[in-house]
Amino acid sequence: MSEKVALTVMVNPAETALPGTLISAIEANLAFKGANILESRWLSEGEAYDIVLSYLEPEKCEKIAIDTLRGERVDIIAQETDTRKKRLLITDMDSTMICEECIDELADFVGKKAEVSAITERAMNGELDFEKALNERVALLAGLPVSTLEQVYRERIHFMGGGRELVATMKEHGARCVLVSGGFTFFTSRVREELGFDTDYSNQLDMQDGLLTGRVIPPILDKNVKLQTLLAECTKHLIPLSESMAIGDGANDLPMLLGAGMGIAYHAKPTVEAAARTRLRHTNLRGALFAQGYGVEEFCP
């Protein structure tokens, strides 16, 4: 094999620093296993390091790095370099671009947060049918004033670290950025505008006389629609699937993650992490830029 492979090693700098001694150990073990190291550099000093090599498959590179760094809180991504920089970003919202699950925060205002959070957790791990679980949770919100949605967005929603840089940097380099969520249009439209996404897709809450009715207006945006949205965006904008990146944490993201050129399970539920090819467990969304070979000096604020 002679195709070039990029191996990216990343840490969360708030937790630890990536020492040069570990990088040297990885490079030595790669060379011992037959890799020809072509170039290497810090993408961000002490945070992310990139090694470009040949004569080893990505899976073998990852295994060597994982074995070398066993026990360290490190994220490792190996990939062929041909389509490394992506032209489409499609990403989930709740627990991905924002830190919270909006429906759980809404449920707190009717005294049902614990109950709804438990259902959300099971649904996102693939233990419950998504549409049924969504309808069940939304039904508990019946009678909640619509004004509560604005209060939740203003007071409880926090953007995920690195998300603003991710969208801004990819857009600066010509990528299309799409937000697709099983959550609600009230929130996705605001997150889209705040972070600079090109468009958003999500579910719509039914409202009457200033109150939530406890219904979601059909059709429901579920895992199949997320995958269809990825495919449609690629087709419409003439972007090969290999040049797409999908990010998500829940079971309803999995078909989209598996369909994209790179699908990142981001701080994901166990079933999603187990099935995905690429994972970020420790770093924030900056890791999705490092995975594409962007150095921190190229990041846009």
Catalytic one of 92, 104, 249, 253:
92
pLDDT tens-digit readout, 108-139: 999 999 999 999 999 999 999 999 999 999 99
pLDDT tens-digit readout, 55-83: 999 999 999 999 999 889 999 999 999 99
Q: What integer is the mean pLDDT of 182-200?
A: 98
Q: What integer is the mean pLDDT of 22-44?
A: 97
- Name the one residue in this structure whose structure tokens are 């993408």: 43
CATH annotation of 88-298:
3.40.50.1000
Give the pLDDT of residue 71.
83
Give percent of the chain above pLDDT 90: 98
**Is 298 a residue whose pLDDT tops 90?**
yes
Residue 92 appears among annotated catalytic residues? yes
Give the pLDDT of residue 70.
87
The fold for domain 5-80 equals: Alpha-Beta Plaits (3.30.70)
Distance separating alpha carbons of residues 113 and 151, to the nearest angstrom:
16
Q: Do 5-80 and 88-298 show the same overall fold?
A: no
Q: Domain-by-domain residue ranges, the chain?
A: 5-80, 88-298
The answer to whether the CB of 251 falls within 8 A of the CB of 96 is no
Distance separating alpha carbons of residues 301 and 297, to the nearest angstrom:
11
- Pseudo-torsion of CA 117, 118, 120, 124, nearest 10°? 130
219: which 2 tokens? 């059709």
Summarize the chain as % helix, strand, coil (round to 5): 40, 25, 35
Give the pLDDT of residue 28.
97
Question: What is the reported pTM?
Answer: 0.97
Give the pLDDT of residue 3.
87
61: which 2 tokens? 């590179």
Q: Where are the alpha helices (DSSP H) in 157-239?
A: 163-172, 185-195, 223-236
Structure confidence at residue 1 as a pLDDT band (50, 70, 90): very low
Distance separating alpha carbons of residues 49 and 46, to the nearest angstrom:
8
Average pLDDT, the chain: 97
**Is 30 a residue whose pLDDT tops 60?**
yes
Output b/e per residue, 220-242; b: 16+ Cβ within 10 A. bbbbebbbbbbeebbeeeebeee
Catalytic one of 75, 94, 249, 253:
94
